[in-house]
A and B are shown apart, each in its own frame.
Chain A
Amino acid sequence: MNMLSRQEAQKRADQIHVFRGELDRLEQEGVIAFSAEQRQRVAEHHRGLLARYSQNFDIDRDMRASQLSLGMRIASLFGALALSVSVFLLFYQFWGWIATITQMVILIAAPLGMLAITILIQRKDSSGYFAKLAALVTFACFVLNITMLGQIFNITPSDKALLPWAALAFLLAYACDLRLLLVAGILCMVAFVAARTGTWNGMYWLSFGERPENFFPAAALLLAVPQFIRHQGYASFPPMYRIFGLLTIFLPVLAMGNWGNSSYLEWDADFIEGFYQVAGFVSSALVVWLGVRKQWPEVINTGVTFFIIFLYTKIFDWWWESMPKYLFFLVLGLVAVLFLLVLKRLRATNYKLFGGEAS
């Protein structure tokens, strides 16, 4: 049997509940009739599956459990963020009274200790909430570790610190199936690649944001990851890579569409802005087409969102000053309605216009 992630087990459990409800309805409407033996066999099979999933993954067995799970996820997130901040502030509160050697020992021991605790909790906690909380605190301890070492020894800030942070974030994300740490790892990696790109072009690493094109290599890397690396058992990770890959393209394009002087290109600023505005429209439309074709809903949504942002930005440029404000917002609303009609039409024609598969 293939290794399942918690999400895949939960998805299967949800499908079983839906199947049960639909089967009952079909039987009531006289569309189908299972024999008692068939019904029993199916019910026993599903009971066994749900019991196994519940034991191994602590899944939600019904709607009420699912709602409680959502609450637990929110509590786990806030708890992790609060604990991470408290780790930083705790150290800042007392570090001035501690000798340098002791500071070093505490700083190195903290992430090592938390890593061990995370592994221990993960082995005992089938739900994964506590392990995820511990993993986030581990990452926070490691960031504190390197940051404070830099401060204690007055080390010149370097983009190289982003690499081990990204590495640990990715390690913990894959170990604990934690998307938040995956995002942390992605952000560290994007910052590192952008900083390196900027450095190779002669600028100081921290100034990488001054030239948004520095983000394009990182975007290419992010989009390539789910294409070339299989994520069996991590069904929710490839969409995160795609979303952040697209954000790492669209946000710089949006910035340069409004601020041509930030580009590496040695053209007239107005021309650069026009170039990137057109590129924004074309690329977001292409992204929507690709998302429909590949059945990647996160890609479709990101493409649509940015197409609308680019369009709204252009409408603002054209009409904000010249139009009465009520009329301006009326135009924005009408554009949104137009989008709804277009997307509805697309759905109605089964995306044939974009070459997607018929549903």
Chain B
Amino acid sequence: MSAAETLAQTLLAQMQDAGAQLVSADILQPAETLLDLYGEDIRARAYVTHDPALGEMMLRPDFTVPVVQAHMQGGAEPARYCYAGPVFRKQDQGRAREYLQVGYEVFARDNPARADAEVFAHFAQLLSGYDLRPVTGDIGILKAAVAGLDTSARRRAALMRHIWRPKRFRALLERMGGQGPLAAPRADLLRALQDAPPEQAGPVVGLRSKDEIAARIAALIEDAATPPLPASQIAAVEAVLNLRGSARDVARDLRAQGWDALTPALDRLEARLDALQDAGIDTASLPFEASFGRTTMEYYDGFVFGFIADRADLPPVATGGRYDALTAVLGQGRAIPAVGGVIRPDSLIALGLIAPGGGA
């Protein structure tokens, strides 16, 4: 057994001691579910293969999907699961293509703040022997900021869909504010739509119907009549995105903005911080970055966290968060609040313990 495999077993045993049930997952996963969740990008990151009977399959890029599926097929509630095994990711450069993940997931309906705190505190304890910097964030606050914008439902939905794609998110914000490079072509397009009916442009080929085209034209014209997003609101969203500091300070600063739409999300943040404090985490010094997880963790929709080594050659040693919406998608209507995370034992081995005999 390699050092990383031995460490994985040690971590797994500690997770089981904490009450988690050990689960396993197939290495070969149906591609369709992963593609639906992650989009086409996953093809660039996961190894895709083909089975004559089952169709397109992927070497598991993570455990989250199979663990959620297993839970949905008849897990108890609440449930705690742990697992360990290799995951597979394509890399253009030198990083490992196959590496171990050890994970811990909590599925619980009651008291999400306590479940968040439980997972984070457990990871902090498992990793206490290593020189790591914790980071936390909250995608729920970003979503609340978007939901609280004073504009059309259509615009809010468009922004919400692209929270995880910062470049497009910014382009959309600019266009909705009546500025940016997208504004001019959009004005041209509207003029063209008003001048020439679609039938003149060419025959409707393909599956997208004339009705669908007409519906989008109506949406575009409605959107053109929507007043520009006020600069103050764009600034407010960007201020939220740029917030970083200690978690308590960030929570206080956000409250001070007096933005009512954020209140429920801030209540949840503070309940989580209280729960973390109860679990022995010093929340006065706990780092919080509002944009943490924004580009890399698409399915998280609430609390997010990472444990990071200050070494350029190492990816985050541990990452995790809350993914309530994912369970709804995978459960086809049935949903259960879920929070969890993974540790990369290989990175811990590369890093080494702070002091022999200490920590994990």
A binds B: no
Chain B interface residues (CB < 8 Å from chain A): none
Chain A interface residues (CB < 8 Å from chain B): none
